[in-house]
């Protein structure tokens, strides 16, 4: 993307996706007012009748005019033996917002972005977004949570698809700079959850893991097949609902 192209883009595209402190719902409410979750699906992770590989949550984050501002899929990858996370997930399943519920339990939230792309909009998504655009920006992130004296935990992997009114359907340099390998890939290259958590709390120019640049660069290469797999999984799920 050239400097001229960047200059001509809507300034809203230049806001870094908040990887700490601010929740996505916070950002939406600043622009649209009160936001509520319209839950289409939220599986019980302990159910014996799951049809998919992962338990899932599917929601629209909707404004007071019943216009969806974000369509989100959450693949619930947390450790099922973690009783507190299951309790939190149950409260979310019964109507709570993800980030706000974790805050109520004393957790700080951070997100590890592993992919940003554009996806085609189905007719149904165009309808709920109230848009004629053919594409929308999508972001896939790992949802990290940590109490002050605890260890970082991952609740799930979240795909957010934004209404074009909120974020233009383009991937810019600011988006690309935030993309990291997944935790699974980073750990295979010697970068653990604690290091990832610290990195997500720092500025874009600093890093708790960059002392070993070669390990990070190898992780980036190793992550590509996994990223494409997640992207395809999301596309297939959306297509299956048409």
pLDDT bin (cut points 50, 70, 90) of residue 152 is very high
3-state secondary structure of 69: strand
Give yes or no for residue 241 having a pLDDT over 50.
Answer: yes
Helices (H) and strands (E) in the chain, counts: 9, 6
All domains of the chain, ordered by start, with CATH?
3-180+225-240 (3.40.1410.10)
Within 9-82, residue ranges assigned H as helices are: 24-32
154 pLDDT above the threshold of 70: yes
pLDDT digits (tens, 9 = 90+) for 7-58: 344 444 445 576 666 678 778 888 999 988 899 999 999 987 877 788 999 9
DSSP three-state, residue 138? strand
The whole-model pTM stands at: 0.87
pLDDT at 54: 87
Give the chain's mean pLDDT.
86
- Residue 61's Cβ-side half-sphere holds a number of Cα atoms within 13 Å equal to 28
Q: Among 171, 183, 191, which Cα is nearest to 143's?
A: 183
| CA–CA distance, 2 with 169 (Å, rounded to integer) | 17
């Amino acid at each position: 993307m050239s400097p001229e192209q960047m200059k001509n883009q809507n300034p809203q595209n230049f806001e870094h996706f908040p990887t700490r402190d601010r929740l996505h719902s916070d950002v939406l409410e600043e622009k649209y007012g009160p936001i509520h979750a319209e839950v289409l699906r939220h599986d019980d992770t302990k159910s014996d009748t799951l049809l998919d590989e992962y338990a899932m949550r599917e929601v629209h984050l909707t404004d007071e005019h019943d216009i969806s501002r974000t369509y989100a899929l959450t693949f619930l990858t947390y450790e099922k033996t973690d009783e507190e996370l299951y309790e939190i997930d149950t409260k979310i399943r019964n109507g709570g917002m993800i980030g706000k519920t974790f805050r109520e339990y004393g957790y700080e939230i951070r997100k590890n972005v592993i992919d940003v792309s554009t996806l085609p909009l189905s007719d149904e998504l165009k309808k709920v977004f109230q848009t004629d655009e053919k594409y929308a920006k999508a972001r896939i992130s790992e949802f990290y949570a940590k109490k002050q004296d605890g260890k970082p935990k991952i609740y799930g992997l979240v795909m957010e698809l934004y209404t074009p009114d909120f974020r233009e359907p383009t991937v810019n340099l600011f988006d690309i700079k935030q993309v990291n390998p997944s935790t699974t890939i980073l750990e295979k290259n010697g970068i653990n959850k604690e290091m990832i958590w610290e990195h997500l709390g720092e500025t874009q120019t600093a890093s708790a893991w960059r002392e070993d640049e070669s390990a990070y660069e190898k992780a980036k290469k190793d992550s590509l097949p996994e990223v494409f797999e997640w992207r395809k999984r999301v596309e297939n799920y959306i297509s299956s609902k048409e």
